[in-house]
């Protein structure tokens, strides 16, 4: 990574802070993109769907020097370059916990679709439950270049 950044928290539009308890490490452009996605879309979507303020996101480590899906002899994962972050759960003020892959009702399913569709506007890859078995319990967002021009999207 040219410019690694460890994220401890993000500022909220309300003036508070959103905690990132896993303290993910990302390349600087990936960290900035993630912060923009959370500020501009994820936090407002969460407020709209659940009428609650997002206060924490469980992400895992971000940077993880490994192959794609931990499969031996496969290509390096975007995580190995600091270009990827996963989201496993969201915590809201008042104690509600939203766990990706455990969609309990219609509003949670609608929120999942909206959050992942919105991520495609920010990231080159957005995967989650239903994409494959490796992403059944988290969203995966990355800035790995795709396609001949490097701008292709892969969103499921």
Tens digit of each residue's pLDDT (9 = 90 or more) over 12-46: 877 789 999 999 999 999 999 999 999 999 999 99
Let me know: does 128 contact 135? Beta carbons within 8 Å.
yes
103 confidence band (pLDDT: 50, 70, 90): confident
Mean pLDDT of 110-121: 93
Higher per-residue confidence, 4 vs 104 = 4
Mean pLDDT of 142-149: 86
Higher per-residue confidence, 119 vs 68 = 119
Higher per-residue confidence, 133 vs 82 = 82
| pLDDT value, residue 122 | 96
Cα–Cα distance for residue pair 144/156, rounded to 1 Å: 15
Residue 24: closest CA among 5, 3, 1: 5
Spacing of C-alpha 151 from chain mean position: 19
| pLDDT value, residue 116 | 92
- Choosing among 3.90.580, 3.30.1380, 3.40.190, 2.40.160, the CATH entry for 4-155 is 3.30.1380
75 confidence band (pLDDT: 50, 70, 90): confident
Q: Which residues contact 146 (CB under 8 A, 6 or more apart)?
A: 124, 125, 152, 153, 154
121, pLDDT greater than 80: yes
Which element (helix H / strand E) includes 89? strand 89-92
The end-to-end CA distance of the chain, in Å, is: 27
User: What mean pLDDT is reported for the chain?
Assistant: 89
Which residues, listed in sequence order, are joined to residue 86 by a DSSP beta bridge? 140
154, pLDDT greater than 90: no
Domain ranges of the chain: 4-155
């Amino acid at each position: 990574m040219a410019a690694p950044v460890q994220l401890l928290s993000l500022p909220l539009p309300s003036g508070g802070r959103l905690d990132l308890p896993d303290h993910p490490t990302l390349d600087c452009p990936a960290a900035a993109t993630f912060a923009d996605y959370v500020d501009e879309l994820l936090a407002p979507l969460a407020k709209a769907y659940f009428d609650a303020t997002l206060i924490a996101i469980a992400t895992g480590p971000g940077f993880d020097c490994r192959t794609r899906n931990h499969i031996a002899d496969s290509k390096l994962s975007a995580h190995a370059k600091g270009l990827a972050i996963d989201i496993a759960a969201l915590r809201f003020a008042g104690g509600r916990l939203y766990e990706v892959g455990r969609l309990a009702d219609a509003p949670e399913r609608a929120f999942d679709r909206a959050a992942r569709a919105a991520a495609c506007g920010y990231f080159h890859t957005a995967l989650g439950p239903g994409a494959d078995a490796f992403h059944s319990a988290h969203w995966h967002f990355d800035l790995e270049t795709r396609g001949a021009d490097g701008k292709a999207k892969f969103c499921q």
